[in-house]
Amino acid sequence: MEKQSLNRFVSKYNLAGLVESVKWESKDGSLTTSFISDDKSVLGSVSMKEFEGTSAEFGVYDTTKLTKMLSVLGNDVDFNINDIDGKPVSLKFKDKSTSVNYMLADLSVIPNVPDLKQLPDFNVEIKLDTNFISKFIKAKGALADENNFTFTCKDKKGTIVLGYSNINTNRINIDVDCTCEADVKPISFSATYLKEILVANKEATDATLKISSQGLAHISFSIDNYEANYYLVEIQS
């Protein structure tokens, strides 16, 4: 398999180290994971099609360590799941001259991810094109201390704000192409997570960010063999 393909899968949930411990599931030629951040402000799922691996469920506790270990190898690697009495215990990767053995974690130490069966109505849809993605990433870099972004909509005109406040502050306003039938009170989500989500899915040419006034945002990507869904929970200011 190509190591680059696995790295892309990992980056879409690891979000530059913000999410570490997850359960991987290999089944029917695909690799999937569901995840939740430690602060529970983001959760989601990532899947990769055309994955060559035996059917199994196993815990990856320290994703950053796995990524660093994989960096030793070339791009073309052999992949195997080592098990004892049918229980996966480690992942083995090997290129022409080097092998890596990564120890797996018991699933009991992996955070449980709630199943979002009943989603609220999303009353706002925002188109995220390459221009917005680039601007938001730059804006977060310019205001690195701003952990949240705020969406506002008035007279059917939507704006995403970094540095939102009722007083005069350093801030960046980005006008967005959105659908909102009525004015929306300011609602805030994690700018840190959104920035890393956009970076991890930078191959996307467009996406849609949906926002519910009940305090949930959803963004999804379908890129090549990858499907990624993210849910951001409202942050009370």
- Going from the N-terminus, what domains does the chain have, and what CATH number goes with each? 3-109 (3.10.150.10), 124-233 (3.10.150.10)
Q: Which of 131, 119, 180, 129 is nearest to 152 (CA)?
A: 180
Which residue, among 182, 127, 126, has the nearest Cα to 156 in the 3D structure?
182
Q: Are 162 and 191 in contact (CB under 8 A)?
A: yes
Residue 66's pLDDT band (boundaries 50, 70, 90)?
very high
pLDDT band of 200, cuts 50, 70, 90: very high
Cβ atoms of residues 217 and 229 within 8 Å: no
Region 192-202 average pLDDT: 96
**Distance between CA atoms of residues 148 and 156, nearest Å:** 22
pLDDT bracket for residue 131 (50, 70, 90): very high
SS3 18: coil
State residue 120's pLDDT score: 93
pLDDT for res 116: 81
- Helix locations, the chain, DSSP H: 3-14, 63-70, 130-142, 191-200
Backbone angles phi, psi at 67, to 5 degrees: -60, -45
Query: For the chain, first and last CA: distance in Å?
Result: 45
Report the candidate in 136, 134, 138 with the shortest Cα–Cα distance to residue 159: 136
Positive or negative CA dihedral for 21, 26, 27, 31? positive
Question: Helix axis angle, 191-200 relative to 3-14, nearest 10°?
Answer: 170
Average pLDDT of every residue of the chain: 94
Q: In what order do the strands lie in the sheet with 172-176?
A: 172-176, 157-162, 148-154, 184-190
pTM: 0.94
Q: Residue 108: which pLDDT band, with cuts at 50, 70 and 90?
A: very high
- Measured CA to CA, the distance from residue 67 to residue 164 in angstroms comes to 36
Beta strands 226-233 and 157-162 are: unpaired
In the predicted structure, residue 81 carries a pLDDT above the cut 90: yes
Q: Which residues contact 138 (CB under 8 A, 6 or more apart)?
A: none
What value does the mean pLDDT take over residues 80-90? Answer: 93
H-helix or E-strand spanning residue 123: none
Residue 52: predicted pLDDT: 83
* Token duo for residue 136: 């938001």
- pLDDT over 80 at 237, yes or no: no
Q: Does residue 188 contact residue 231 with C-beta atoms inside 8 Å? A: no
At 30-49, the pLDDT tens digits run 999 999 999 999 999 999 99
